[in-house]
Every structure is written in structure tokens, then in C-alpha cells.
């Protein structure tokens, strides 16, 4: 009899001590889109990569991307251009006069849109 109790105790102990198994797929699904804000990230990225051409204050003559509204209203075109192959004549930044956006930078713009265009 005693042996049986011991066995039970052992089984309970093993279960109690085993690490909780997480359901990774489900947890990742519920993970919120990383919060991206225009003021802290998007404006800096566009300024770094799209100035001076798209910044009227810097004598840019191309479509302005210098405000929150402009960035938001043109996000589809902006993403389309930066995701083109780099040798496409429509690729932006124009003729690679500025370095191409990194995958992280493109993801940042997408997450900004997905997250509802936080200021």
C-alpha cells in the first residue's frame, strides 16, 4: 500500500513540476501588431529616405510626404514603390540616391497602417 501512495505522490510531483506547455501558434496569433507611431518612427523614416525630393521645405518638387496626412493618404503608393525590385524604374528611393528601405523599415510602415495610423 505504502508503495502505491509513494507512486501517486511521485506522479503528482512530476506533473506539478513540469513546465507549463504553451500553445505557441495561438499565442502568436493574439499578439498585437507592434505599435508604431508617426511622430516617433514613421516621420523619421520618411525624412531619412525620401527627402529632399518629397519635402517641399527642402525644395523637393515631388509629391509631398512631409506630414501625417500625406504619409497616411499615400501609404499604399509608398509601400508599392519601396517594395519594387531595385532595378525597376519606379523603385523608390529614386535611382537609389538614398539607401533602399530595409525589411524592418518596410515592416514598420506596414505595422503603422495595420495598427490604425497612430500619431
- Residue 46, C-beta contacts closer than 8 angstroms, at least 6 positions apart: 54, 65, 66, 71, 78
Name which position in 43, 47, 64, 94 contacts ligand HEC (CB under 6 A): 94
Residue numbers 23-52 binding ligand HEC by CB under 6 A: 49-50
- Residue 29, C-beta contacts closer than 8 angstroms, at least 6 positions apart: none
Using rule CB under 6 A, residue 71 touches ligand HEC: no
Using rule CB under 6 A, residue 53 touches ligand HEC: yes
Distance CA(42)–CA(109), nearest Å, equals: 7
Minimum CB distance to ligand HEC smaller for 97 or for 114: 97
Q: Which stretch binds ligand HEC (CB under 6 A): 1-9, 19-27, 31-39, 78-86?
A: 78-86
Using rule CB under 6 A, residue 93 touches ligand HEC: yes
Closest separation between CB of residue 78 and ligand HEC, Å? 4
Dihedral sign for Cα 79, 80, 83, 89, please. negative
Amino acid at each position: 500500500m505504502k508503495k502505491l501512495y509513494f507512486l501517486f505522490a511521485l506522479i503528482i510531483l512530476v506533473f506539478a513540476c513540469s513546465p507549463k506547455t504553451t500553445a505557441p501558434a495561438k499565442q502568436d496569433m493574439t499578439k498585437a501588431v507592434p505599435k508604431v507611431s508617426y511622430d516617433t518612427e514613421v516621420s523619421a523614416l520618411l525624412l531619412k529616405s525620401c527627402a529632399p525630393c518629397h519635402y517641399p521645405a527642402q525644395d523637393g518638387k515631388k509629391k509631398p510626404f512631409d506630414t501625417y496626412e500625406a504619409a497616411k493618404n499615400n501609404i499604399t503608393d509608398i509601400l508599392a514603390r519601396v517594395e519594387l525590385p531595385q532595378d525597376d524604374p519606379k523603385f523608390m528611393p529614386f535611382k537609389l540616391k538614398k539607401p533602399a528601405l530595409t525589411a524592418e523599415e518596410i515592416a514598420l510602415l506596414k505595422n503603422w497602417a495595420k495598427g490604425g495610423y497612430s500619431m
